[in-house]
Structure 1
Amino acid sequence: MKKLSPSLVAVKKITSAVPRSNFAEPDLEKLARLILESGGLINPIIVRRNGMDAYEIVDGDFEYYAAARAKEIDAPKGETIGAFILEEENEELLLKQLEILRKTAITENLVENPETGFLYENPSSQPADSITNAVCLVEVPNLGENETPEESSSLEQRLTNIEAQFASQINELKAEYAREQKVLAQSIQELENRLLQQVPLLVEAGLANRINELKSELPPEKQVVVERIPEVDNVTSESMSLLEALNTLEKNQLSANLKDAGLKLPIIQIILKERDVRPFVSFANVVERVKGLTDKTMIKIIDKWQKYS
């Protein structure tokens, strides 16, 4: 028989016949955190194969549920657990060893009642992982009919454990919801910022395309008339002259002209500062970069700029 040594088994491949509610949730939480911090469990569990890649707990239900909780907290770190796997060649010997260990654990946890002389389990020395399916050889007082204090106490403890487990899961869900809500809010803000940057350019491009479409729809003779109207030529040349002036005109002259056109000094100062950073590429770009300058104001400046051209 080969030397006995623990193996790493995936936690998700293991099942237990003992309900998780048998164990106090704070104890499971504490051990789970210690498993993650120390990088593993110092007390390997004992499992038996019940399929090609499946196992059931023979001993160590508490440790198993603590490892399962560790996997819930940090899946990569808590993915596996150390376990002794019962094989045909070693099962009989391991079960005998386990039986002796269980009996020893039960004896160590017994205390004598001074009044009756009977032996009882000592709650203060009871380990977190209760021994399951162990044979009790302790004589207990004869209880009256329907008197089951141990069952009642056990049920209350299980209910308390279930409530603690639910509370822990609810808190985790709340924390996860808050994280997802924060990520969603950030994504929405980024999308709004992109839209604010793109809308002026899209509007300007859309207007230019629409003007070209209208010109192409006009009959040739009317199109010639429109192209020869002085006002249209002036607006085009003025718009180009204004954009060029915003980028290149001497600052004192530009400041005086803009002030005469109706702009306030703080906005003029922003324009002068922004053009030093980088040239304006369009009127939409001017409105976007100059805080306090609106589309309507920009149009008024274009209309009044004709006397400076």
Structure 2
Amino acid sequence: MSNKINLSTSLVDLDNITAKVDISEFSGDEIEKMANLILTTGGVVRPIILKRTGIESCEIVTGNFEYHATVKASEIDPEHSGMIRGFIITEEQEENIIKQQEILRDLDTPLPESPEVPIDVQDSQVDLTKMFNNLTLNLTKELNSQLDQKLQPMTTKLNQLNPSSPTNSQPQINNIAEEKLQNIESKIDQLLPKKLPEIEEILNEQLKTIRQKITNLSKQEALSLLAQTQTGLSRQIKAIDRESNQLQRVNLLTVKTKEEIQQAFTREKVTTKMINATWEAIKLWKQSGESLTWENLKQQTKKGIGFGKTTYEKLRKIAEIPE
């Protein structure tokens, strides 16, 4: 059926998530308690449910408490990954997902205590091996997916900035394009000094080392080590995400055409009217002879040219004004 949901989770940056329910609706003590548990275990055990509001932005359908607790965890420990695992659904799927959540809440009763059963060491090792193999496969797939997503916009931008084939609308900015091209290539070399197969090889070697350590650990200690490994990978993916976002930002001090603004806005959900208003605001600044700052640009929202606060906030996400 066309409305069938794909039950696979994704790691989502906390900065890209909007919560409908404010943190004040929850107990501060419970939030802090949960945050410390998240830091101990490496993440939440139940993925939250999100729906997209933009190319990178999402809104919470269910899981506001888990979200706020994860944000709190990042405040307590800045080294925390700053990401949360969740299902990303469409608006059409939202109603059925909420119904499913309500049914699960009604049926979510404590299980009766069962007598302790001695753990078979051989069975535990089999479980750990299976769990480790699954984790290795999932981490590799996730790394591939994340790198593909982050490299695609940069590759597109490189092709557009290549001065060897300028468009008719950009004949006079070859020098600027060449400088941008060299800058982006340099940053990509720093970000990804090795090819993807070599990155996978490094990851596999690290996982082999972890597997050797697991041999001498209890099952609980092994689970904790694997959780820490996944948190570490999440931190690296977040670093790639930050670098990718920075590379895709348009420099408002050197922008020459509306097409450059339009290309940068492809990462945000905007209208043609917003793009035109942004370009008009930039042209007004160029004519004024003033230094461009975000504060000066914000004043343009009051001049009735269609450049409103919403457009201004979206521009801040995709552009930069170097100091």
Asked whether the two chains share a fold, i.e. TM above 0.5, the reply is no
Between 1 and 2, higher relative CO (CA 8 Å, sep ≥ 6) is seen in 2
Larger radius of gyration: 1
